[in-house]
Amino acid sequence: MHKNALPFPYKISPLDPNLNESLLQKFKGETKQFVKVGPEEYFFPSKYETEAEKIYNFPVRSDDVWVVTFPRSGTTWTQELVWLLCNRLNFQRARTEHLAARFPFLEFNVFADDTRLEEFRKENQGNIDHLGIIEHMSTPQYEVLNNTQGRRFIKTHIPFSLLPSNLLTSGAKIVYVARNPKDVAVSYYHLYQMFRTLDFRGDFDTFWDCFENNLVAWGPYWSHIKEGWNQRDNPNVLFLFYEDMNKNLVSSIDKVAEFLDTSLTKDQVNELVDYLDIKNFRNNPAVNFDSLKTVGICRSDQVFIREGKSGGWKGKFSEKLGARADKWIQENLRTTDLKFSE
């Protein structure tokens, strides 16, 4: 950490022991302690406590490009769009070099529980390539990014209040994407089952209960989204709705291109639309964490890029749960002028 580092400004508190023990039975990726952070009580695994100040003091560069989202809000799709626009539509590199290498996930190591890491190492002992993948995962990406030459592309799910204090005034470009919470929850449920670093054990109704009560990583959902929405007029921030991207990708490409000071011909736009089409995108191994499946961090029977559509929640919510979710959404929208697209 640099010599002018700022102290982390928020209190980090362990979860109530009884609640923590209950959650450890549901979320097997963490083996020690969940914590809550700051006045909004953002929810993280125990390793965040040792990383919070380092992330908060991460040196931002004026030419950085960030994608900030609550999980499962179209993050990967947006990352690939942003990276291609800034790299002259280099589809060849995008298809062959994993997105995580081109666009590092700032806090990825926070979710690498030491006990789980040791399990992965034992499962892959003797395979140098596999062990290299595991070590990369456990390496703080802020260290990798600090040593990156040229323009940096950074993904994070951390809300603005816990990110570097100068991020919003540094000149860095930030794309924030929001998505309907019911679709987020369904997609997040599948992610929690796919990644053994998260490893949720339970049905969707149980997961929704945790989601609604701010007991999933990076939650509370509403605090996160409202922090993003409150920055929508910041000239360094482009706030997008996933539903709008889905409905009119061409228009969204134009918005992002203008924000990033790039321009495309009509043919280039069409080529990009075809590349990002969900039917093609989900078959791209460079964005699907296939290497993590190889070493057993992700379950091989799950897919990272799923349906990529809006309204997919309708097949997962019972009528009773849907009504409960709608009430919760309406209550939280009363205090903001944020509105989700249909």
- Going from N- to C-terminal start, the domains of the chain cover 60-333
175's tokens: 């794309």
Residue 98 falls in the annotated catalytic set: no
- What single letter denotes the amino acid at residue 228? G
Q: May I ask the CATH architecture of the domain 60-333? A: 3-Layer(aba) Sandwich (3.40)
Q: What is the pLDDT of residues 264-320, one digit of tens each?
A: 999 999 999 999 988 888 777 777 677 788 888 887 665 555 555 556 667 778 999
* Percent of the chain predicted with pLDDT > 70: 94
146 within 8 A of 38, measured Cβ to Cβ: no
Distances, alpha carbon 139 to alpha carbons 46, 76, 109, in Å: 16, 21, 6
Among the residue ranges 33-47, 240-254, 299-313, the one predicted with the least confidence is 299-313
Average pLDDT over residues 219-226: 98
Active-site residue, from 2, 130, 157, 224:
157
| Cα–Cα dist 332/41, whole Å | 16
pTM: 0.94
CA distance 241 to 339: 10
Write out pLDDT tens, residues 58-117.
999 999 999 999 999 999 999 999 999 999 999 999 999 999 999 999 999 999 899 999
